[in-house]
Structure 1
């Protein structure tokens, strides 16, 4: 494990949200939001309505910029996000998770909680100088983010689809070069 479980979970959720903006957009309906919340459960107030969905959709460009920023710029963006929110840090244990930090109250809007949880995760990324674990997919036609939590830093693609497409292309190129 590179980071604590809650940090890795927050990073995965943020990357999922950012990547949902890729073509085709996969965060369009309330059912899409429900799929996100099932995969990445958040505690606290959740309305599951159109306004909340739009707030999550509007958050995606900001998360992308934060996740891909060089370290010093990431610090500036993290500090800006922290300054915008009313922080109420508390240790919590719930849903089978051990003690972890909730930085804002459960009654804050979901998009704000996602932003601050991502911000808190990025604090760990910054402190460990591990920003290189978040990158744009190595597939030339893909702009999604790849989150590399592997020990050997080998993940280059956002998904197995992109990885397989590139492996097949490399195989075909090697095969053509031999003939």
Structure 2
């Protein structure tokens, strides 16, 4: 993919956030402030103050809106859904260096809530992906018992499983066993 480190990192954060949702076929792993704090720390989200219940509600709503972008039936619908998400965000681009990271762009306004911060940064990352004509890279795992989302970063856009070591391996073993039985 033609994106820099910051963009790839933001897209990975989108994927991690969406995959905390029960909408992806697993359990909800963003049910309380402790889990939200762990997510923020694991994804190294900067500029976050003390988190509250309002933050949890906003991030959970954002997560579902982002999931709808991934599962849009076509690019036009994805654009509408992403524009709706972005329209509720004060986007204020500014250059910054922090925590040992090279100069990069933050898109959220200073003092923004965690939900607005993530909406701006993650929404812009998805917007760049769509602008580059890479909408088809937003995927849902092809394993029948998995609904996780992922961004296909393969050169030829051929990835079909969220994780080749779990879903991919499981499906390949099942296909092998089916061939052996036939």
Q: TM class, shorter-chain normalised?
A: 0.7 to 0.9
Secondary structure of 1:146's counterpart equals: strand
Deviation at 1:111, TM superposition (A): 1.1
Consecutive unaligned residues in structure 2, runs of 5 or more: none
2:143–2:171 Cα contact (<8 Å) kept = yes
Secondary structure of 2:92's counterpart equals: coil
Deviation at 1:108, TM superposition (A): 0.7
Matched, 1:85 2:84: no
Secondary structure of 1:2's counterpart equals: coil
Matched, 1:169 2:170: no
Structure 2 residue aligned with 1:55? 58
My pick for the range that moved more, 8-17 or 95-104, is 95-104
For the residues of structure 2 that align with 1:82 and 1:52, how far apart are their CA atoms? 17
Secondary structure of 1:98's counterpart equals: coil
For the residues of structure 2 that align with 1:79 and 1:55, how far apart are their CA atoms? 17
Structure 2 residue aligned with 1:21? 21
Consecutive unaligned residues in structure 1, runs of 5 or more: none
Task: Quote the RMSD (CA, aligned, Å).
Answer: 1.9
1:104–1:116 Cα contact (<8 Å) kept = yes
Matches within 5 A, 1:113-152: 113-152=117-156
Deviation at 1:164, TM superposition (A): 2.0
Secondary structure of 2:3's counterpart equals: coil
For the residues of structure 2 that align with 1:161 and 1:89, how far apart are their CA atoms? 38
For the residues of structure 2 that align with 1:164 and 1:97, how far apart are their CA atoms? 35
For the residues of structure 2 that align with 1:25 and 1:32, how far apart are their CA atoms? 10
